[in-house]
Amino acid sequence: MPYIVTEPCIGVKDKSCMTVCPVDCIYEGDDQVYIHPDECIDCGLCEAECPAEAIKPDTEGGLDKWLEINAKYAAAWPNITEKRDAPSDAKEFDGVEGKFEKYFSAEPGSGD
Ligand code: SF4
Ligand code: SF4
C-alpha cells in the first residue's frame, strides 16, 4: 500500500514531504513531485506533512490514474531529498480544481 502524490500538488510543490521521507523515494517533476510506489515503505509520514493534502494511500478509491503517473514519473525524474522554496506563485494554485487537465507537465524538475 504505497502512498502517492495526487493533483493538489500541481503548482504548489512546496517540498515539505521529502524532508520526512526515511527512504528518499520522492522524485521531482516540473510542477509536482512523485512517490516511487516500489520504494515507498508506507510509513505515512509525508501524508501529514503535506499542506495541500495531495498525498494519499493508493488504497483510496479512484486513484489508479495517479498510481500509474507516480510510477512512471518517479522512475524517470530526479530524486529530491532537500526542501527548497516553493514556486513563487504556489498560493495561486493551492486548492484550484481541474489542475491536471490545465497544468499537468510531463517535464522533469531539477532534483537535489
Ligand atoms: S509514506 Fe513514508 S516512505 Fe512512503 S513516500 Fe511517504 S514518507 Fe516516504
Ligand atoms: S508536501 Fe504536498 S504539496 Fe508539498 S511537494 Fe510534497 S506532495 Fe507536493
Average pLDDT over residues 73-100: 96
Predicted confidence (pLDDT) per residue in 5-41, tens digit: 999 999 999 889 999 999 999 999 999 999 999 999 9
Predicted confidence (pLDDT) per residue in 59-83, tens digit: 999 999 999 999 999 999 999 999 9
Q: Is any atom of ligand 1 closer than 6 Å to the C-beta of 25?
A: yes
Q: Is any atom of ligand 2 closer than 6 Å to the C-beta of 49?
A: yes
Distance CA 40, CA 48 (A): 15
Which ligand has an atom closest to residue 49 CA? 2
What is the three-class DSSP state of 38?
Answer: coil
Q: Please tell me the predicted confidence (pLDDT) of residue 63.
A: 96
Kindly report whether the global pTM for this prediction surpasses the value 0.85.
yes
Spell out the domains of the chain, with CATH numbers in brackets: 3-81 (3.30.70.20)
Task: Please name the residues in contact with 73: beta carbons below 8 A apart, sequence gap of 6 or more.
Answer: 27, 29, 34, 106
Q: Which amino acid is at 108?
A: P
